[in-house]
Structure 1
Amino acid sequence: MVNTSHPVRIGVLGTHSTGKTTLLKRIEMELRAEGITVARTGRLGKRAAAAGLPTMQHHTATSTEWIIAQGIADELAATGQGADVVLLDRAVHDAIAYFNAALEYRSEIPPRVERERLLTLASTQLPKYDLLFATVLDERQPVDTRHDYDPRFRRLVDQHTHLLLNQNDIPHLKVTSDPDSQAHAIDTALQRCLKEDLG
């Protein structure tokens, strides 16, 4: 059993249709096979849209703050369920990357104070993460045809994701579409969780 003093938290971020949800589902499957209790958060973008908030290239400071706050609330709710591991589909800095990409896409510059406030809000969650995965865009991979993605915006999100992580020295592991990279990420997550085993 995993140490229950606090759950292991594993987050993922990256541009759309780069396998974030699939990666977490595979990690969840492996963890459950080891008898580890798992809770998984997600669907923040769809829920924001359902709440009437702008998403994708239309993101605003308000929608970004909502996604960050809702992500934090979801994580706390999952923790309250007593899970050994909480998998966070769209770690909080994901919202910042989308916001920055939307601003560049629209050629807008927000007030510096607003940017710093949102970044500070997201940064409060960093100490909670035991592992953070960042997916890497591979434009050769097929996109879900149910969604009408703007290719330029998708690239901008990928660029801003990795820029944000690097500029703020946020520890993370890049995950590409290569099967070996995916397998390494899954193994890293599994080993990190099993390391917490109390025996």
Structure 2
Amino acid sequence: MNTTTAPTRIGVMGAHSTGKTMLLKRIEMELRGHGIPVARTGGLGKRAARVPLPKMQHHTATSTEWIITQGIADEIAAAAHQGPEPVQVVLADRAAWDALSYYRAALEWRQEQADRLDRERLWMLASTQSPKYDLVLATVLDPDLPVKPGHDYDARYRTLVDHHTHAVLAENQIPHQRVTGDPASQARAVELAVQICLKQEERV
């Protein structure tokens, strides 16, 4: 492989407990089956809580900025990792726009307005990453599906995150693949991701 070629980058975004992490695990498993070295980022919410920074419906401009910038740093580090074989695919559990969706949902949940400068700065941070993703997967909330055991999520906030996830993508005209809870939809997303990665490998 030509090590100067940037790895294929796939990001996922969507409301909590909509299958984002599991979707990336499936993609990773398929890619490894094809012999493609993969790196996967994630855990931003838990790490933000350890700082500690507010999360979920309590998100602020500061916590949102931390998640966006930390996510960018994680993706850069994953792409630069030098193991036995250079990483060819980076799977980002929370694409850059995801944090902005959570922040907008938190503001609506609290019935607050964002400061204009905060709003513009966060939008600019997220927008710098859009060209770097070869594929963005956006999960769709199914309120009838159970959440992870032990998680006491606010149902209204979770619905707002789902709304703002797809609103942010539409407003910024970001190409993406919607992924519902239907097994066929998830299988199509996995297949699309694998095909994109295999095509990228053919070019190098």
What is the TM-score with the length of structure 2 in the denominator?
0.95
Letter in 1 for 2:136: L
Alignment of 1:126-141 (within 5 A): 126-141=130-145
Aligned residue for 2:182?
178
Question: Separation in 2 of the partners of 1:53 and 1:117?
Answer: 19
Alignment of 1:48-67 (within 5 A): 48-67=48-67
Alignment of 1:14-93 (within 5 A): 14-81=14-81, 82-93=86-97
Question: Separation in 2 of the partners of 1:165 and 1:6?
Answer: 24
Aligned residue for 1:165?
169
Aligned residue for 1:154?
158
Aligned residue for 1:195?
199
Distance 1:178 1:114, change over 3 A: same
What is the TM-score with the length of structure 1 in the denominator?
0.97
Letter in 1 for 2:145: Q
The reply to whether residue 110 of structure 1 matches residue 103 of structure 2 is no
Letter in 2 for 1:120: M
C-alpha displacement at 1:196, in angstroms?
1.5
Aligned residue pairs total: 199
Aligned residue for 1:99?
103
Question: Separation in 2 of the partners of 1:42 and 1:197?
Answer: 24
Question: Separation in 2 of the partners of 1:2 and 1:22?
Answer: 30
In structure 2, runs of 5+ residues without a counterpart are none
Question: Separation in 1 of the partners of 2:89 and 2:196?
Answer: 10
Distance 1:2 1:177, change over 3 A: farther
Alignment root-mean-square deviation, CA: 1.3
Asked if 2 retains the 8 angstrom alpha-carbon contact of 1:2 and 1:194, the reply is no
Question: Separation in 2 of the partners of 1:19 and 1:119?
Answer: 25
Aligned residue for 2:149?
145
Q: Give 2:125's match in structure 1, choosing from 121, 127, 133.
A: 121
1:159-183 per-residue CA deviation (whole Å, 9 max, x = no partner) reads: 0000010011011100000011000
Letter in 1 for 2:48: A
1:137-156 per-residue CA deviation (whole Å, 9 max, x = no partner) reads: 00111111221100000000
Aligned residue for 2:13?
13
Question: Separation in 1 of the partners of 2:20 and 2:134?
Answer: 17
Question: Separation in 1 of the partners of 2:76 and 2:199?
Answer: 23
Q: Which runs of 4+ in 1 moved over 2 A?
A: 1-4
